[in-house]
Structure 1
Amino acid sequence: MKKQVLAVAAALLLAGCGSGQIGDTGGGGTDPNNKNLALLTGMRGEPFYVSLECAAKAEAAAAGYQLNAQAPEKFEQAEQSQMLTGIIGTKPGAVIIAPADDKALAAPLQQAKNNGVKVVEVDTALEDRSIASASLSSSNYAGGKLAAETLSKLVGDRPGSVLALNTKAGTSTTDERAQGFEEEIAKHPNLRLLPTQYTENEPATAAQIVSATLAANPDLVGVFGTNLNTGEGAGTALDNAGRSGQVQLVGFDASPKQVEDLRNGRVQALIAQDPAGIGREGVKNAIAAIKGEPVQRETKTGTIAITRESMDAQQHYFYRSEC
């Protein structure tokens, strides 16, 4: 594996860069003394969200606030919307949320705002930028570009086709990662980008798609999984086909399973985020919004490429499976 891959990881985690806009500064009937916060992440048990939740709980407790954390069983807007309705009824000072759909969650979150509940987006965001006081996420477009740069270095000069696996259409984070990946891969003439496939965030579906792609495209040299579920599914398919290491796999996120796959050679590189940092800053922004203090409307954190060669030195980027 080439040493140059390590140099690709130039982006530093927690190097937050604002959009230059200051978000909501309070008002709207919010009680500045409300000490109750709600956290609604995208999916229960997913290591990215577990890491985010653990850090958010610790930050809230240190600040003297109560944090009620919930998550749907699957990354679906219907269950998340139902849970959000219940949360609004408890009248927290703020809801910190990873919207599962960038359009469908707009109406219930607007209702929350109308009822004096501050809205802070973490990881994913609504298309309507007028509802939330603040949004915090990784620079997902840049992360997608980093994945493409990393994959191209792993493949080298070999010609062949490349597949990107997205999750659900309308998921802001993975759509941005796929876009960054597609635009960067286009700069490498030896690589032919196949149409992006959607997995509905199911590892089994990702595995089926990769298996079918291998059969239809024997020149497949690379796969990019835009999140941990797509990466895990792709790794399973490549292993079952005896193509691990022959087809270079770059995953997004550093879940325990993805890290294990990196160590045993089923994955060649991971693009890691900083969910703990996003969770901590999400709570800080929520508290500031409740108090009517200025908050940065949009903050982006960096991503880093981890390879088998560098993983022991970069294990502090690995995600947690429990608090």
Structure 2
Amino acid sequence: MSTRTVALVSAALLLTACGGGGQIGDTGGPGDAKKMVLIPGVAAEPFYISMECGFREAASAAGYAVDVQAPAKFDATQQTPIVTGVLADKPGAVLIAPTDDKAMAGPMRQLKDAGIKVVEVDTKLEDTSIASSTISSDNEQGGRLAARTLAELVGGKAGSVLVLNTKAGTSTTDARAAGFEEEIGKHPNLRYVGQQYTDNEPDQAASKVTATLSANPDLIGVFATNLNTGEGAATGLRNAGRTGAVNLVGFDASPKQVEDLRGGAVQALIAQDPTTIGRTGVEQAIAALEGEPVRRDVETDLVALTKADLEANSKYFYKQRC
């Protein structure tokens, strides 16, 4: 064998040993197929903490290392750098609650293109080609359930009703608002005055309630589409001295929301099952990793909680820690 041939063979062996046969677009490093990462919509929120508990329990039981990284605000500009950082580590799977149904498509596609299995939990993208599976409550059904519950609370009285939403482009809350609007139209005694966005900030929800009360003195009901808007709406009604006079139906069962329901600041809550969402997300991610059949869309339970049946449904209360 000539000296030139030996050099070429040695170079080829070295290239193979260093992983030079990797595909274009490889983010570098072999990654860890036995690791899963959860990227919730926002940090320190009981809904996502409960989801994290289900995620950690299921992934650890299946032998996966786990990591949880959440943005400080429900915002695509804060969630995108987290996705980029996780991409560099190349875990086997990422469970993510996208904070914008369009803006997060690019970053999440990078995960998929790197060979990482992507599972959507809670929220989802408009683009259905990226995630292997989506696990979420039936949010339109939740909105319809909220409207029926509010109509029962009102009991035939006439008046105006308001929806407080979070941010436009949030798939879950937009679906809840749509379901509510569709169902409330079946109750001619209730006049729907539309929805208002709060940027997911409780103080904005409180001020929107106050302003709506001024413009619509006959306001008889408010549907708050998530935890923060519900807590803010309760504050707004309390400040206006209209607690109980205006029926407040919230979405989610955080400790504060449950306390408000017990105390009469909230008349009903539409509770999700975030622990099951997290657990099911892990199950679908494992199926995708192991080449088993994956369910593209999985819907989890919702239940209407009132003061009368609150304790009987305590399993739906959200957690502040695992």
TM-score relative to the length of structure 1: 0.90
**Partner SS, residue 214 of structure 1:** helix
In structure 2, how many angstroms separate the alpha carbons of the residues matched to 1:43 and 1:128? Answer: 21
Aligned to 1:212: 211
Residue by residue, what CA displacement relative to the aligned partner does 1:41-97 show, whole Å, maximum 9, x if unpaired?
001010000000011001111000011111001100111011000000000011100
Unmatched 5+ stretches in structure 1: 1-28
Distance in 2, Cα, partners of 1:108 & 1:282: 19
Aligned partners of 1:263 and 1:199: how far apart in 2?
25
Corresponding position of 2:7: none
Q: Distance in 2 between matches of 1:71 and 1:313?
A: 32
Contact 1:221 1:248 in 2 (8 A): yes
C-alpha offsets along residues 256-280 of structure 1, whole Å, 9 cap, x if unaligned?
A: 0000000000000000000000000
Tell me which amino acid in the other structure corresponds to 1:68.
D
Q: What corresponds to 2:168 in structure 1?
A: 169
Is the 2:31–2:91 contact (alpha carbons within 8 Å) kept by the matching residues of 1?
no
| SS in structure 2 of the partner of residue 157 of structure 1 | coil
The AA in structure 1 aligned to 2:150 is L
The question of whether the paired residues in 2 share the 8 Å contact of 1:51 and 1:322 is answered with yes
Q: Aligned ranges for residues 93-104 of structure 1 at < 5 Å?
A: 93-104=92-103
Partner Cα distance (1:38, 1:277) in 2: 17
Q: Which residue of 1 aligns with 2:79?
A: 80
Partner SS, residue 320 of structure 1? coil
Using the TM superposition, give the Cα deviation of residue 35 of structure 1 relative to its aligned residue in structure 2, in angstroms. 0.3
- Seen in structure 2, the aligned counterparts of structure 1 residues 229 and 197 have a Cα distance that, compared at 3 Å, is same
- The question of whether the paired residues in 1 share the 8 Å contact of 2:227 and 2:254 is answered with yes
The one-letter code sitting in structure 2 at the alignment partner of 1:88 is L
Task: Give the CA deviation at 1:156.
Answer: 1.1
Quick check: 1:238 aligned with 2:237? Answer: yes
Structure 2 CA distance for partners of 1:32 and 1:112, relative to 1, 3 Å: closer
Offset at 1:313? 1.1
Corresponding letter in the other structure for 2:269: L
Secondary structure of 1:93's aligned partner? strand
C-alpha displacement at 1:127, in angstroms? 0.2
The gaps in structure 2 that reach 5 residues or longer are: 1-25
In 2, the alpha carbon distance for the partners of 1:123 and 1:33 equals 25
Q: Residues 236 and 33 of structure 1: is their aligned pair in 2 closer, same or farther, counting only changes over 3 Å? A: closer
Distance in 2, Cα, partners of 1:320 & 1:83: 24
Misfit runs of 4+, over 3 Å: none
Check 1:32–1:83 CA distance in 2 against 1; reply closer, same or farther (3 A cut). Answer: closer
The alpha-carbon deviation at position 119 of structure 1 amounts to 0.4
In the alignment of these two chains, the number of paired residues is: 295
Q: CA RMSD in A?
A: 1.4
**Corresponding residue number in structure 2 for 1:228:** 227
- Output the CA distance in 1 between the equivalents of 2:216 and 2:85: 48
| Sequence identity (%) | 61
Moved more, 86-95 or 32-41: 32-41
The Cα offsets for residues 94-141 of structure 1, whole Å up to 9 and x where unpaired, read as 110000000001011111111101100000000000000000000000
Aligned to 1:255: 254
For the residues of structure 1 that align with 2:97 and 2:269, how far apart are their CA atoms? 22
Shift of 1:195: 1.9
Please tell me the residue identity of whatever aligns with 1:87.
V
> Which of the pair has the greater relative contact order for Cα pairs under 8 Å at 6+ separation?
1
Give the residue type in structure 2 aligned to 1:180: G
CA distance in 2, matches of 1:184, 1:32: 48
Deviations 1:199-245 (A, max 9, x none): 00000000000001111110000000000100000000111111111
Inter-partner Cα distance in structure 2 for 1:117 and 1:312: 41
3-state DSSP class of the match of 1:276? helix
1:6 aligns with none
Give the SS at the match of 2:312. coil
Q: More helix per residue: 1 or 2?
A: 2
C-alpha displacement at 1:315, in angstroms?
Answer: 1.1
Describe the SS at the equivalent of 2:94. Answer: strand
Task: Kindly indicate whether the alpha-carbon contact (under 8 Å) linking 1:32 and 1:290 is maintained by their aligned counterparts in 2.
Answer: no
> Within 1, Cα distance between the matches of 2:49 and 2:69?
11
After TM superposition, list the pairs within 5 Å mapping 1:95-174 onto structure 2. 95-174=94-173
Q: Does 1:316 align with 2:315?
A: yes
Measure the CA separation in 2 of the matches of 1:221 and 1:247: 5
Tell me if the contact between 1:50 and 1:322 (Cα under 8 Å) persists in the aligned partners.
Answer: yes
**2:35·2:92 contact (CA, 8 Å) conserved in 1?**
yes
Larger Rg, first or second structure (1 or 2): 2
Q: Per-residue deviation at 1:177? A: 0.2
Deviation for aligned residue 1:147: 0.2
CA distance in 1, matches of 2:32, 2:296: 22
Distance across 2 between alignment mates of 1:199 and 1:247: 19
Letter in 2 for 1:56: F
Match of 2:64 in 1: 65
- 2:303 corresponds to 1:304: yes
Q: Distance in 1 between matches of 2:35 and 2:93?
A: 7
Partner of 1:35: 34
- Checking the alignment, whether the CA contact within 8 Å between 2:117 and 2:285 is kept in structure 1 is yes
Q: How many Å apart are 1:33 and its aligned residue?
A: 7.9
Quote how far apart the aligned CAs of 1:32 are: 11
